Structure formats: C-alpha cells, structure tokens
Amino acid sequence: MAKGLAKGLIIAAPASGSGKTTLTLGLLVALRERGLAVGAVKSGPDYIDPAFHRAATGRPSVNLDSWAMGPDLLDGLAARAGDGADLLVCEALMGLFDGVAGIGATGTGSTAEIAARTGWPVLLVVNAKGQSQSAAALVKGFATYRDDVTIGGVVLNNVGSPRHTALAGTAIEALGIPLLGALPRAPALTLPERHLGLVQADETEGLGERLAALGRFVGEHVDLDRVAALARPSRAGTGTDAPALPPLGQRVAIARDAAFTFAYPHLMEGWRAAGAELLTFSPLADEPPPADADAVYLPGGYPELHAGRLAANHRFHAGLRAAAERVPVFGECGGYMVMGETLEDADGVTHAMAGLLGVRTSFAKRKLHLGYRRAELLADGPLGPAGTVLMGHEFHYASTLGRGDDAPLLKATAADGGALGDLGGRRGLALGSFVHLIARG
C-alpha cells in the first residue's frame, strides 16, 4: 500500500477509564487475525500504550500530539505509520475533546483535533454501567459538539445483559449512529497498572495470552466488518520526513532496560532516518555506555523501583562519568534523576546516583507533576543553540530536594503560558531535566 493511503479510525471515549485500551488492543489483534495489516498510533503524550500496540500488531506505533507537534510533523508521522498498512487505528487520550487551555504547535492537544485534521471517524466507547437510554443523550452531545468531528459508531462497555444492550443500543441507533458492539463486564481481562499507568508491555506477565484473550473477546462482541468499513483515508498531507528533534550525535548510546523505557518511538525513528546509529546498553546489568558512542541518552522510566541495584552498579557509574568527560550525556526525568547525586525511594532509603549533576530527588513524599511544557534552551548544546524552543511534558511523582549549583538547562512555561522558571541542570557535557521532549517548537 502506498505511503499515507491507509484508512484510519479513532477509538475514543467520553472520559478515561471507559475501555479505550481494551477495545483498541482487542480490535488490533482480532483484525490482524483476519489477515489485515493493522497499524496503530496514540494521540497525546504516552509512552506505555504504543508498546502494547506494537505487541498487538507487530509494527511500530508512534504518538501524534496536536499540542507539541507542528502540522508537517504530525502529518508526516501519520503518513509513515500508515505506510504498508490496510488499516490504522488511533487510540485517544482521556476524553475525546479533552486538551489544555493554552495553544501549542497545532492546538490544545485533544484527540478531536487529530480527528478534525485527518478526517478519521471516531468509534466512541461508552461505559454503560449505571445507565441505559441516557447513553444516547451523551452520544448525541459528542456527535454534535464539533462539526468537523464525525462519530461513526458506538461500542458499549460494561453492559450487564442483552436487555441492557437493547435499551441503550436502540436509543443510540435512533440518532442515526450505529451500535457496532457491546462488551460485557469482564474484570478478568483488565491489564495490571502502576502509578504512571499500565504496567509496561515487556513487564506484563503472559502478554501474548492476554492479547489473544482480548482479541477473542472483542471479536465475539463487536462487528469487525462494520468497524473496518468505518475507516477513511487521511485528508491531511503526507507532511515532512524531518526528525522531530535532531539526533544527539552520529552514534547515540541509549539506556534501555526495565528502569529506562520511556523513549518516544517517533524520536528514535527520526534519528535513524536522519542517519544516526542507535546503540543500547543496560544500566541494570551494570553495563557502561559503549565506548565508541559520541552521545549518551538516559530516557525516563522507573529508576525508583530499581534504585538499590542502580546505586550498586559501579561499572555503569564509572562508564557514565567517563563518557561525560568526552561526549554529551543527556537525561530526561528518570534519566535526569540517575545523573544526580541521590535518589530517595518510597521507603525513605537514600541511594547514591552517578553524580554528574547536583540534583537530589525523593519519592518518600509523592507529588504529582503533570503537564505540557514549552521550554527554551539557556545555552548551546546537543539539543540546539541557546534560544531553541522545545516542546515536551512532565509526568512524575518525584520531589526535588535540591538542585545543587548547576546552571539551569531550560526556562519553561506551562501550556497556559504560566511561567515555571528555570528547569533542569547542566554541568560540563552533562545535561538533563524532568521534561520529556517531544519536538522542536
């Protein structure tokens, strides 16, 4: 199939917790079982869902972010995600129209903006627990809220009986919107969660069996043929092939294991396409960065769950310090914490980290930091010259006990334009912050 011509649809809901992930993964598996080449993308800033998409489809999944990404980048990623696919499924974030107050690169970050830009119809998942005909009023509101967003069909979730399905479904279809499935309550199919969302795909026990069960479940209760027939080609352009962020170097060493997993697929894909070679190493296995790398990237993840092991891995620490003497070492969120002086875990135990930066962090008293960030570089470096605008987000529960005397890396504002002041730190060739970068502004 030609680039960008895959037909697409969006799985969205009125709110989080409605069943989007269950339906998305089940559809991906069930449609793939029917012989379709199925691709997936995720709306908004999320590291965890794309890994589940990849496990379900056998293809990479990327994020489409209408707040952080410019139109050309957004269109290019959507086009490449559909290359070679018969059908592309976009999983929404939160509720369909939920975004932020400020305006980013393209809009407020809502999935509705992806729907409006691409023309992909929305399959709305409605949690029917505690309601029947009232579900139709909710669907009518979603169908008429924006003229440029099309609700192509509805799947009910958490239905209690055939009568429950008939009451809600008849009222919805009276609106002229087809009911394409009804999922009964099935708590046994729930995927395990932790504090930042689902337990990661490569840590989920029996993932293959769980995905197969979701595929059977959705295949039994959803009209797959009618769902596939909803999909439409994107009306957006094919966009740009340029990377969202230039590569940190020609040979980039990337920490990759259970403690360092939050690397955006679209960044890795863009770096490879730009000619960079990506080398992985495992801090948890006490591996240092490869000696021939000309840049080191420590992405986010869950270092707080492995702080004792990381503190004891002296070969990793020594190798990281040696690398920082000759090449840039960049850390995001969890990677930034590991580059710091100390990390206090949830039990109040303090662990020594690599000491490349002066930051000291703690999980003993959790505090949520969440939101988009528009950041300006305060000095020249591997991320660009001073003044470069970078778009990203924060999502973590760590508290900062101190930042030492390092120079700040970024000056940032929130999505609504509120000033956040200086963020992160830089010392020599070491630099990092809690911001997960998504694209240049």
The residues that are catalytic are 333
Q: How many CB atoms lie within 10 A of CB 370?
A: 10
CB 347 within 8 A of CB 306: no
User: Angle at which helices 111-118 and 71-82 pack, to 10 degrees?
Assistant: 70
Spatial separation of the C-alpha atoms in residues 40 and 59, rounded to whole Å? 8
Residue with tokens 């769980």: 210
CA-closest candidate to residue 286, choices 322, 316, 256: 316
Instruction: Please give the backbone phi and psi of residue 409, each rounded to the nearest 5 degrees, phi first.
Output: -90, -40
Instruction: Count how many Cα atoms sit within 13 Å of the Cα of residue 184 in the half-sphere of its side chain.
Output: 11
Q: How many CB atoms lie within 10 A of CB 84?
A: 13
Helix, strand or coil, per DSSP, at residue 211: helix
Spatial separation of the C-alpha atoms in residues 216 and 29, rounded to whole Å? 8
Spatial separation of the C-alpha atoms in residues 264 and 199, rounded to whole Å? 17
CA-closest candidate to residue 218, choices 408, 30, 409: 30
Q: Detail the DSSP E strand segments found in 303-429.
A: 329-332, 342-344, 350-352, 360-362, 369-377, 389-396, 399-402, 410-414, 419-423, 425-427
Spatial separation of the C-alpha atoms in residues 377 and 289, rounded to whole Å? 25
Instruction: Count how many Cα atoms sit within 13 Å of the Cα of residue 424 in the half-sphere of its side chain.
Output: 28
**Strand pairing report for 419-423 and 389-396:** unpaired
Q: What letter would DSSP give residue 228? A: H
Spatial separation of the C-alpha atoms in residues 379 and 387, rounded to whole Å? 7
Q: Looking at the DSSP assignment, which residues form a beta bridge with residue 87?
A: 7, 38
Q: How many CB atoms lie within 10 A of CB 15?
A: 13
Q: Looking at the DSSP assignment, which residues form a beta bridge with residue 154?
A: 124, 179
Both tokens assigned to 431: 């630099």
Q: List all residues 6 or more positions away from 266 whose beta carbon is below 8 Å from its beta carbon.
A: 62, 63, 77, 244
Residue positions counted in the chain = 441
Q: What letter would DSSP give residue 45? A: S
